[in-house]
Structure formats: C-alpha cells, structure tokens
Structure 1
Amino acid sequence: MNTPEGRTAPRPMRLADGRPAAAAWSLDPAIAHLNHGSFGAVPLPAQERQNLLRAEMERAPVVWFPQLPERIAAARVEIAAFLQVEPGELALVPNASAGISAVYAALRRRRGGEIVVTDHGYGAVTMGAQRLARRWGGRVRTAHVPLDADAQRAYEAVAAELTDATDLVVVDQITSATARRLPVERIGAEARRRGIPLLVDGAHAPGLIAAPLADLPCDFWVGNLHKWACAPRGTAALVARGPLRDELYPLIDSWGATEPYPDRFDHQGTVDATSYLAAPEALAFVERTWGWERARRYMAELADYAERVIGAAVAEHTGERGPVDVGMPVPGMRLVRLPSGLADSREAADRLRDRVAAELGVEAAFTSFGGTAYLRLSAHVYNTAAEYEQFARACVPVLAEWARAAAQPVEKVS
C-alpha cells in the first residue's frame, strides 16, 4: 500500500524461518498491539529464560539467593555493554521511577532547594521532585517547552529557570506524553558549568537510541529495559557518574549495604531478580535475529509511515490536521493529533485508552498535552504497516464519531 504522498509501506520484519516477527512474541493475535512504548513486550526466548531461572530458584532457594548478587553483577556487565557504559557506573533497579526515587532519597540540599523540571516530564517523576522540594523547604520550577521547540529553544527554556538556588535539574531524554527528545546534552553542559546535578529520565531510550549516554554530561541517568529493549518487566538501569554516585543506595537496605556502588544494589533480599538475569537474553535475541541497527531503522520507518496514514485519516474524517511537529522527533515514536474533544486531560486520555481496548480491540497510547489529545505511536519489530492501515480505516472514523458525540450539548431534563 502507498501513503497519500505515494511512499511505499516498509516491508514487515520476519524471523529466519520466514514467519512474521510477531511469532517470536506471545501477544494475543486478536488484539492490535500498537503501544509498545508503555509496558513493552517480552520475546519468547527471554520469557523462556526467565521461566527456567524461576524454576531453578524454586528448586533450591537456599542455594539460589546467596549466589544471586554475583549473577546480577554478571548480567550488569552485559547490559552495560549494550548501553555502552562502564559496568561500574550501572546498577539494576525495578524501573526508571525506582532509580529516580533512589536518587531523590540520596540527594541533600546544597543551595536554595529548588528543582527544575519541564512541563513534558513524566507525572510520577515530577510528583517525586515536588515531594523532595517540600522536604528541602524549597520549590519546583517548571520550564515550559513549546511542543514544536527545536533544540535551541528547548535548551533556552530550561536554562532560563536555572538560578543560584537550583539544587537539581530533572529532564527527560525522550518525553513520554509528547514523544520528543529534549537537548539533554546541552542542558547537561550548562548544568555542569553551574555546578548543578543533572538527572536524566531516559525511560524510553534503551533500544531506541544506540548509545543514549554518549556525550551526555549528567550525574544520574535512568532507563527502562522493559520498553524498547524488550527485557522482562521489572528491569531498568541506573547509571551514576561522579562523586554523587557514592551517596546512592537501593530503596531496600540489605546485607550489601556496606558495599560500594553499584554492588550494593545487587543485594535485595528475597526479591525475584530473574528479570535482571533474563534481560541479556532479550537484548541478544534482537541482535542475533535482525541486529539492533536494522531493528531501529525499521521502527523509525514504520512510525513515519503510521503517522502519515493515520494523520491523513484524521484529516479526512475531521478536517483537522493530524501529524504534529514535536521539534525534536524520536525514531520509532510519533504523535498524531486526535479529533477535538476526545481527551483534554491525562485522566480522560487514560479512559479513552481503556475504551479503545475494550470496544475496538486495540492497545494504543493516548496522551494529553496543553489540553490537546494525541495518539502516541510507538512501533516495534513485531508491528506491521497493515496494522496501522487497519487502525486508520476502522478506528479513526469511530474516534471521529466519539468526538462529535462528546461535542453535542447535553439536554437538560425539566
């Protein structure tokens, strides 16, 4: 199929035996899975590896847990190689928010207790920053970055909020709600010049960006491995550099508390850490099947195609322009503006997500920014152009009808 501009759809990815890429996942074929970016999807080889590890754990728990820290340390070496960082910089945590919480718990007020965030920040991370600011007796300053801001404008918006009272800067590498990059490298250079710690929320970066920490001057970085990297859920990386990393401790104190960073994070009592140990198998599966470079290229091409097809359908059924200029686009992720009136808040976007799943059989991500509703596209290797074409044909007209119904005035009962 060709797009309205005449561009051909990318050919689907296949396994070595010719089967569709989706055959390597256990996703329900009756559902269209168009939202890899929220919770990810674990390929069967990684699921099988984790199941074997759990069976091993249950066969001999007293043997398993004493040797677990050493095995986690070995997994860290493989994950560090994938992210192209030093193993001694990387600790494993359950998710990006857990890593950020560990950073918040460790930092002390050094100046005026102010924390700078952006209006694109992940809600839970921003709420944690607000709680930390209250504990410090400070406040949170929010940099307002226009959705279409390029790197220069986005940098200027954040830099304008930095003052002599700033104790921490928290910036997304890839934003969740708006699917765009922020110039974390430039922001990091300015923060370092001013002596301000920088925490980068790279939740979406592993797997989507080849080397997310290259040329990135930051004190702390977190990234989820269960998203684009397809690791079992409950696996994320916390990377810390510089003297502040020695202040980091896991949220659960265990017998490794006296060990240096990151070794003390390998000791977490009876926590089921099989997701950590199975994560390298997920990374290796994509590499040996297609290669990560080819996989990323396909995801980028497919997201571009999906944006054009669905955006054209939105325009056809509503007269409104679908594609969105996000200033610094991300490979594999795109935004499409939804018909007006569908979701003017995060809560309304979540309700729309649940309704689309229940009534249309589609797992999709819906977000809201500045009172405008968006469909956030996030493609992976198991997705195909046909799925997005079907969404454009079957779902966009329904969304347009729902928007028209929502815009109808409610008659008062006398």
Structure 2
Amino acid sequence: MKRRFLFATLMCFVFPATAAVAPEDIARLGKDLTPVGADKLGNGKDIPAWKGGLPLDTSHQPGAFHPDPFAADKPRFRITAANVAEHRSRLTDGQVALLQRFPDLYFEVYPTHRSASYPDYVYKAIKTNAGRAELMKYGAGVTGATMSSPFPVPQNGLEVLWNHTLRFRGHSMAYTAVASSVTQGGQRIDALREYEYFIQYSIPGAEPADLDNKIFFLKRKTLAPAQMAGGITLVHETLDQVRSPRKSWIYVPGQRRLRRTPDLAYDTADSNTNSIRTVDQVDMFNGAPDYYDWELKGKREIYIPYNAYKVHQGNLKIDNILQDHHINPSLLRYEAHRVWVVEAKLRLGYSHRYSTRRYYVDEDSWSIIYAEEYDEKGELWQVTEAHTINYYDIQLVYPTLEVTYDLESGRYYAEGLDNERGATINFSRELDANDFSPNAIRREAVR
C-alpha cells in the first residue's frame, strides 16, 4: 500500500529529540555495561555475566559451517502447550500463541551462554558513535555514526530500532540458501537464491561524511526453480530513509530489462514468500520507520532462540528441518536472555497491513530476535523468530535462519536454509560498491 499525505502527516507529529550520549554514560561502556551497552552482570540465577563472548577463531575456513561450541549442553527443561502457564512470565505473547496454535511444538531451554562478541574496532566505533550520533528529524535516519550501532545507551524506541538496523554485519558477505514457504498442509514452495552484500556503513576508517548516505548494497539472484531462475533484485539502502528512500531495481528474465521499483518498501509483498512476508519484515525489520510511533517499553528476561548451531549444520537435510506446521523443534535451542522491548503503533493517515508491531531486541547484539505483528483489529497475526549464532570467524551475531509464522492461515516462511549447499555465509568475499551498480547487474543478466 502507498503512503498517504506523507509530508502533512509528518509535520503533525513530534518525534523524540535525541543528542549524543552523555559523557558519564559513555564512561560506563566496558565497565558496568558491556562495550555494546548491555548490562554486564547476570541476574544471579540463570543469566550469567558477560565475559567477552566467543573468541575469534582464526583457523576457521571462510564459508565453512561453524561447529557447535556448546554441543555438550543438555536441555534444562521443555516448554509445551501443557505447561506454558508455568513459564508465562518469560514468554512473549507470540510464543504463547505459537504453542497454543501448534500443540506438537515445544521449546527446549538450554543453559544460557552470552556468546555475542565483536572485534575490538567495532567496540571502539560504538564508543565513538555514542559521543556524536544523533537521530535525524522525524527519526528518518542517523547522523554522526559508522560501523555499528549508534546508541549504546538508548533513550527511546527509535534509537533501539536503529541500533538493530545499523548493527555490525561485517564488511561484505555472500552465500547461497533456500527460502521456503510452507502451506498448512505441509506443501512447500522452495526458491534457491544467491545473496551478496557490501556494507558501506562498516568500511574500516570511514567517517560519516564518507558514506554517501548508504548503509549497504544488496544483490539477490534467484537460481531455482527454473521458471524463476535469473530474476535479480538490487537494493541500495540509505541512511536517510524518508527524504532519500532506498533505491531498488528488479530484473525479470522474461522482460529482459532492469527496471526501477520505487515501491519496494513498507508492506509490499516480499517476492516468492507466497505473500506471507512484507518487504519491511526482511531482517526482522528494515527501511523507513516513519509509518509508526515507536515506544520503548523497557527490558525483559525471556527465553529466546540463541546459539542456534544445531540447525546451522551443513549435513542437515532441509526435509528434516521443515515440518508441516513449523520448524523441527528438536533442532532449535532457547536460552534465557535480557531483551529490549519496542512497540510500534501505526500513525493516523498511514496505511499498512500491520497496525501494531512488537520487537524483542537482544541486549548483547542489538539483533531483533522476535517480531510480532497485529492486524487492524488488534489480533496477533504473525510471529517471526531469528535463530542467531555468533559467526566466530569474524565475531558477529547474525541469523542462520529466520522463520515467519502466519497464525491465521497456519502457513510459515523460512529463509536462510543453506544446510545442503556445502557452505554458509562467507564474510571474506571481495566486494565493493561497483559490483552493485545497475550497469553491473545488466551485464550479469545477459551473460
């Protein structure tokens, strides 16, 4: 759906003012707060203190699957529809709804490992960002930041959201994976895709003025099935998402031309997802935040997908991962962690298929782990899980699998299934902005 009355509506709302983090709060980073701004201490029960996370493994081969550093752990307990009331205080509304909707689903809760870690130069960048980063007018973007999350001590929901959007994701990455939409009866529609990213925002040594209003460049190419093979989506993601929206192009093999797509945003259906997911649900949330009012609800302790190395392994068959109604729960791992909770309410005068959205953001990585979407009647419609791991060959936290469940239809969509490909994400691929120009894509398309 399209924006309506954008400028007039924007002028009717007061967005949270923000300035750089206070010097006394910056001084807390690396002391009572971790270098990314999380509480360093544990809760004295089942959440331990952060002690640096997983160390860098220089022996790991780029693109190889990551052995599970916690393979010896045993589940502490299992949460099911039958005992969900006992654990309600540490579950989200979406988790409860999933267990009630699918009685054979369960969550295996394991010991908590605060494994999130980043390179020292990322920690340095976060501290620098804290002293100079500011939200743009209307929360449309961020100024004064590079490399990673800009607000380690957030004051409002928009700052938490931008911490997720701008979290460190390496400098470039390339991988091939299956995305699958699964019907209520268990039938699958699989698409094999090739992904390439160049993260301009994290160029080493770059200053904010060097970024040319770019966060990253993305090329997504469909390899199979045959009727969709050769289709390419090209995205130039911007830092100012409202006054200078993302640029995007689509190449359709049958048309044999690359065309601009100004509507590749907001609640446009994400291609090949059987309309389960919208474009702004990719990576849990992306794009301009201007359709919603964002409220920071505070922190909670909940059980979330974490250290998902079991489902990450290359020798797994996709048939063993995707079950009729949900992902195979025996392959998933949940742990107790603290999360920031942010709620977004659709603004008057705007149209989007989700009226309310709630996000749960891991304090140790600024990654959105859970997303919950509500329809116009206020009924919970969808729940999305990000099953993350620490890619310890470069030290960053990123999903190995994202799953969106449609509670109304009983369908779900899974993305990131690289298990049968022989390789996972390669963060060492040599890429730059020139590889993502429209002319480069045109040349590739005709080869």
TM-score, normalised to structure 1, is: 0.30
Q: Rg bigger for which structure?
A: 1
Give the strand-richer structure, 1 or 2.
Answer: 2
